[in-house]
Structure 1
């Protein structure tokens, strides 16, 4: 599996494309808000001859969902989130204008993610891990074959997700990290929702929130 990343919108959010030798592609957390960002994402997909087959959200805060409807309009694919984050998603239209995002287009999921049902595309299987604390329905996607996590806003390089937003809880987040992430091999690469990639080993050794 190949991970291709883009950094979009005023929150510097990381959008990820997951693709493999089959040419099939999954889009995770499309943060593309500006038309130029949407064009850049679409151009990359076309240049790489990828076929988008699925849209996923790790969680549904505003910066991770800007591009959901654009993806659905463009590629007509299923859209999956964890059911516990449906309220988070549906709250976005109420506060988006307050941040100056007047062109946000709401999108509704077509189905829900559960930890006992892996996500499959092409030759790839992703394990869904439930990691609440930053958002009530937060999940991460673990690809065991390559030792890769698409981690949303759970664990960052030297930090963790904020817990002061609605539905956030510090103790829950720390428990999610310890039970769902730190049990993985040290070499596991974490692709977070903001900032650079890191590894489980690095965060286990140096992250001040985990010591």
Structure 2
């Protein structure tokens, strides 16, 4: 089960992915900023009787990490991030101030994610792939058994992640999309960090930024 929530003024997609056989689950990119958003996330987890095993980050831009401390504290789980995104993660308080946002609760990274690593919960397995360009330590999580990608801010429906932010680079992002996403079968679903899901095939045919 892949369930998404749209949180914060940035309209970020937070994901809860659960293993149907065991009810073990992970939270990915908790962008819950307001208290009622945190409560909505917790209520869903409670209603579904899910057992949260990990907190996973595709990358560390502020709209994807608002709720990290809440999730870590609420479920007693470790947080995973690629080491190359630490400068972005450590800069979140400054970015909050720049946007005039308050109330950020800092959290600490517990473990680093690595290219080729596998994340297991219940009978579900994610392959970790390194997809920099939007952020230097950006990763995506691929479930080959169920044919989908939790892609963060790499590839959107007819769009791509911004590369005008600090550490962003279009050529690097384009290479990540071509080598890590477009090599997947066309029917794989892409659950992105913003907007609605898409498929690999749809983007290869019609994405105006990176296509076949």
| Residue 206 of structure 1: aligned partner | 206
Distance, in Å, in 1 between the alignment partners of 2:22 and 2:93 is 36
Distance, in Å, in 1 between the alignment partners of 2:12 and 2:185 is 26
Task: Give the count of matched residue pairs.
Answer: 210
Please state how far the C-alpha of 1:100 moved relative to its aligned partner.
Answer: 2.2
Please, what is the CA RMSD of the aligned residues?
0.7
In the alignment, structure 1 segments of 5+ residues that lack a partner are: none
Please state how far the C-alpha of 1:105 moved relative to its aligned partner.
Answer: 1.1
Distance, in Å, in 1 between the alignment partners of 2:44 and 2:209 is 36
| Residue 150 of structure 1: aligned partner | 150
Please state how far the C-alpha of 1:175 moved relative to its aligned partner.
Answer: 0.2
Q: Secondary structure at the match of 2:91?
A: helix
| Residue 173 of structure 1: aligned partner | 173
| Residue 87 of structure 1: aligned partner | 87
Q: Give the structure-1-normalised TM-score.
A: 0.98
Distance, in Å, in 1 between the alignment partners of 2:54 and 2:114 is 15
| Residue 162 of structure 1: aligned partner | 162
Following TM superposition, the consecutive aligned residue runs of length 4 or more in structure 1 with deviations greater than 6 angstroms are: none
Distance, in Å, in 1 between the alignment partners of 2:115 and 2:5 is 26
Tell me whether 1:104 sits opposite 2:96 in the alignment.
Answer: no
Q: Secondary structure at the match of 1:201?
A: helix
Distance, in Å, in 2 between the alignment partners of 1:150 and 1:9 is 19
Distance, in Å, in 1 between the alignment partners of 2:97 and 2:74 is 24
Distance, in Å, in 2 between the alignment partners of 1:40 and 1:54 is 19
